[in-house]
Structure 1
């Protein structure tokens, strides 16, 4: 009888971690909140992609002519990044931070005029404009992933949810996202300067959006330098990613307040 009692106790002890593990698995593989978030992101990506293609054929140019189209394009980049990074690194809980940001961008886009406008003269170099905005959308999308990973990293010590990713996983995920963000920002700025020279006769004007984009590029460059050369990890690098995302938000919305050559975007 003693052996049976002892065996039952051991069975209960073994069952406890299995129960915890099953809860964690349900968060990442079962039909929990994050599962539905994942499916929502995939459906949104398909729907938004189809909508942008239809709009492009209807207007005769890529959907980059006004505030509404830029907002939708950047939301598309964020959704694409969420779907890709979730598939590649299996961190489904990232949607808890990233999807609200995407939803906020889509809500903002819904408040703008969606009337199709002809391209203004400065935007009529269509191939260059398309690649410029496409790289910006990819950069912004990956930056949202880095931001989400950083926020989750900083919250991790206070979160007791068994499905929350480990800090080293989040730290590495943020780094992988910046590996996409930084080169895309670099290409965006280079193509933007070429486009500016064609449209306005000068490569750089210290326009508010140009300046903010340069500051953003420097922040992510500093992050990569600190990570690779000085092996910065942990809270310091996470806060740098939060700062980088704040710079992206300012870059996108700042021209609405400060004007400049990019007032249409």
Structure 2
């Protein structure tokens, strides 16, 4: 089998109906993997799974912030396929709050941001680790953000949660080796509508401030995720930045 082929592999994608998650599912499916798209909205997730390249794919309703739901997803994937080889953590949420507006970033929002953007990915890895470890060649890819490095992002807590993902990759890359590799893919601004309230004018300003003179597309991030599963096989515990050079500004 070619090193670029994922035939016989099973990939679970949390946040699978979102822009990056769906693009990742399409990219991995084109390489031959069977895909489990997991999301909160049953109809949206089912439609997304039905649109994937032909294969043995599933749609699943899962709450990233609920550890029991993640364990149920792992059990369902194991029952259906008997294995899981790749876990992609692309679920997340944020809200644009000026960094100087300390009162607007209240305790409830901080807790929710960390529950979805940090605790959720960790809980998903915890739930899927036995399946990923069983094949001796498991892979976790977390979708982070350059906000975790630059401290510039939708809000302070989001930046901190994404910085936590970078540290998680280092910690778990060490702890889960050699049977499971853990990598982060860290985009800059991506044209997905992920951050509420960001419009075309924001994207145009971001493109002008990016050395490669455009913002990212979901496909850019998906290509990096696919590379983690195929060509970057001697990498673990690190973060791959896919931002067009934006963090250099």
**Do they superpose with TM above 0.5?**
no
Provide the TM-score with structure 1 as the length reference.
0.31
Larger radius of gyration: 1
Q: Which has the higher strand share?
A: 2
More helix by share: 1
